[in-house]
């Protein structure tokens, strides 16, 4: 493109003199206004054992009332419970969905505890993909359902991660942004917490689990520094509470103990404020964007390969689902059409074979029936002939008897007449 400079600072560039205000500098405002008008959807998935403090932490973060309904430890399988809230801060509306696990870690066999969660994430991606592929798509509405953040609650054992933690985080790390957090951090003392955090991070790296890293390459150096500090605090140690307690001469959200008060918003007590700042005020957009540009794209690419799409010339067809190298929708359409034609032809042949076999079977049955009928008919005919002969014979016998009777009657009549005439003559 030829380059035009509105201010004309370079000699080689053509200088355009502004005759008035152009205004494309306001594009960012237009964009912000549109988002403010439409509102933002943010979906958080909380994974953790029953009673670890998921609902309480969410209530602490968003002033909701999730912890009022406690779940039991008796569920046979892991389940997911979802709640949606409309929140508003100044002019910005936030549609917040909190999805919590129920019965996670309560089963004897925990090897498949992550399966239900994986199915849920895939279901959301699949409906987004189907919406994207449909003719009358409504991407904005379906957008609401993708999970943007997964808070993984680690038990404050002070030891290390459990097998279920490693299994689940490993299974989900390519599907969602995972932020591991140590729950009920008030139950571990400060020194132990530092070692616990270190041990957890070592295990996460040793098992190559990809957790969400707060971005440090933003334009704003202040944000970069904050994110750098937050990354160094991983896994964030949090405390949740719905109680307001008196701390000095202030009312604070915290937990009251015999020995003192834990203030949730005090950064020397826990990382709650850091977590809130990181996920809500600094990196919410990044979490949403990464969900779409990284996790959804990975899912989409895998599904497209399954459907027959592939835009990599060096793709090895034997490695994945016998996928051919296809570049455009037209290629895929033609290939699918060929496959279908082949399938149809095969089905047609099978159908013809089946039909001929059936006709032959029916023909055999009909022939057998015809044979039976013929033999019955012949038998019946023989019987009829016999009857006819017998009747004929009887008829002839009767005729003879009649004739004999008539003759005898005639003789008798004659004799009677002669007798009568002889009596007359006398």
Is the CB of 186 or the CB of 286 nearer to ligand GDP? 186
The CA distance from 52 to 372, in Å, is: 83
Q: How far is 261 from 247, CA to CA, in rounded Å? A: 7
Q: In the complex with ligand GDP, which residue's Cβ is closer, 67 or 143? A: 67
Q: Of the candidates 372, 317, 281, which has an alpha carbon nearest to the alpha carbon of residue 42?
A: 281
Cβ distance to ligand GDP smaller for residue 187 or 231: 187
Q: Could you tell me the smallest distance in angstroms from the CB atom of residue 68 to ligand GDP? A: 9
Q: In angstroms, rounded to a whole number, what is the distance separating the alpha carbons of residues 354 and 348?
A: 10
- Using DSSP, how many helices (H) and how many strands (E) does the chain show? 11, 11
In terms of Cα–Cα distance, which of 182, 186, 149 is closest to 282?
Answer: 149
Closer residue to ligand GDP (CB): 72 or 127: 72
Residue 88 · residue 40 · CB < 8 Å: no
> Minimum CB separation from ligand GDP for residue 240, in Å?
4
Smallest distance from ligand GDP to CB 267, Å? 15
The shares of helix, strand and coil residues in the chain, as percent rounded to the nearest 5, are: 55, 15, 30
The least distance separating ligand GDP from the CB of residue 250, rounded to whole angstroms, comes to: 20
Compare residues 71 and 226 and give the one whose CB is closer to ligand GDP. 71
- The token duo for 402 is 């009649």
The total number of residues shown for the chain amounts to 426
Give the sign of the dihedral formed by CA 169, CA 175, CA 179, CA 182: negative
- Which positions lie near ligand GDP, rule CB under 6 A? 48, 50-56, 67, 70-71, 184, 186-187, 239-240
Q: State which residue has the least CB distance to ligand GDP.
A: 53
Question: Which tokens sit at 47?
Answer: 């994974």
How far apart are the C-alpha atoms of 111 and 105, rounded to whole Å? Answer: 10
Minimum CB separation from ligand GDP for residue 53, in Å? 3
Distance CA 125, CA 145 (A): 8
Nearer of residues 53 and 148 to ligand GDP, judged by Cβ: 53
Kindly state the smallest distance separating residue 233's Cβ from ligand GDP, in Å.
17
> Which helix (H) or strand (E) element contains residue 59?
helix 54-62
Query: Which contiguous run of DSSP H or E holds residue 419?
Result: helix 329-425
Output 245 or 305, the one with its CB closest to ligand GDP.
245
- Give whichever of 53 and 235 is closer to ligand GDP, judged by the CB atom: 53
d(CA 51, CA 391): 105
In the bound state with ligand GDP, the residue whose beta carbon lies nearer, of 71 and 113, is: 71
Contact predicate 172/291, CB 8 Å = no
CB of 246 to ligand GDP, least distance (A): 19
Q: Considering the complex, what minimum distance in angstroms separates the CB of residue 116 from ligand GDP?
A: 16
Least Å from the CB of residue 202 to ligand GDP = 24
In terms of C-beta density within 10 A (0-12 exposed, 13-18 middle, 19 or more buried), how is residue 73 classed? Answer: exposed
């Amino acid at each position: 493109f030829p380059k035009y400079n509105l201010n004309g600072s370079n000699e080689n560039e053509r200088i355009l003199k502004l005759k008035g205000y152009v205004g494309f500098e306001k594009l960012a405002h237009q964009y912000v206004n549109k988002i403010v008008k439409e509102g933002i959807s943010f979906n958080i998935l909380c994974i953790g054992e029953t009673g670890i403090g998921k609902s309480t932490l969410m209530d602490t973060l968003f002033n909701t009332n999730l912890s009022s309904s406690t779940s039991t430890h008796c569920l046979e399988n892991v389940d997911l419970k979802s709640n949606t809230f409309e929140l508003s801060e100044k002019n910005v509306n936030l549609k917040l969905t909190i999805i919590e696990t129920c019965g996670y870690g309560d089963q004897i066999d925990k090897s498949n505890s992550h399966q239900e969660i994986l199915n849920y994430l895939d279901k959301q991606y699949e409906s987004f993909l189907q919406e994207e592929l449909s003719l009358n798509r409504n991407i904005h509405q379906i957008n609401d359902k993708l999970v943007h953040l997964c808070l993984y609650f680690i038990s404050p054992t002070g030891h290390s991660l459990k097998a279920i933690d490693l299994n689940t985080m490993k299974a989900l790390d390519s599907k969602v942004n995972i932020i591991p957090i140590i729950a009920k951090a008030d139950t571990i003392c400060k020194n132990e917490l530092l070692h616990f955090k270190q041990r957890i991070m070592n295990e996460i790296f040793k098992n190559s689990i990809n957790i969400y890293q707060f971005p440090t390459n933003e334009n704003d150096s202040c944000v970069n520094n904050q994110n750098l500090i937050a990354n160094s605090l991983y896994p964030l140690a949090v405390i949740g509470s719905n109680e307001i307690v008196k701390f000095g001469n202030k009312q604070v959200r915290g937990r009251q103990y015999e020995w003192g008060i834990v203030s949730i918003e005090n950064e020397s007590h826990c990382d709650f404020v850091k977590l809130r700042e990181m996920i809500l005020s600094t990196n919410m957009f990044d979490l949403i964007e990464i969900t779409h540009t990284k996790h959804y794209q990975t899912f989409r690419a895998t599904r497209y390969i399954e459907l027959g799409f592939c835009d990599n010339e060096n793709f090895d067809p034997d490695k994945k689902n016998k996928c051919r190298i296809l570049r455009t929708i037209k290629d895929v359409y033609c290939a699918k059409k060929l496959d279908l034609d082949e399938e149809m032809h095969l089905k047609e042949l099978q159908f013809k074979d089946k039909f001929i076999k059936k006709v032959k079977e029916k023909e055999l049955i009909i022939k057998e029936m015809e044979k039976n009928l013929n033999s019955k008919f012949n038998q019946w005919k023989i019987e009829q002939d016999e009857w006819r002969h017998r009747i004929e014979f009887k008829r002839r016998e009767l005729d003879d008897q009649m004739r004999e009777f008539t003759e005898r009657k005639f003789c008798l009549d004659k004799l009677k007449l002669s007798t009568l005439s002889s009596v007359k003559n006398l």
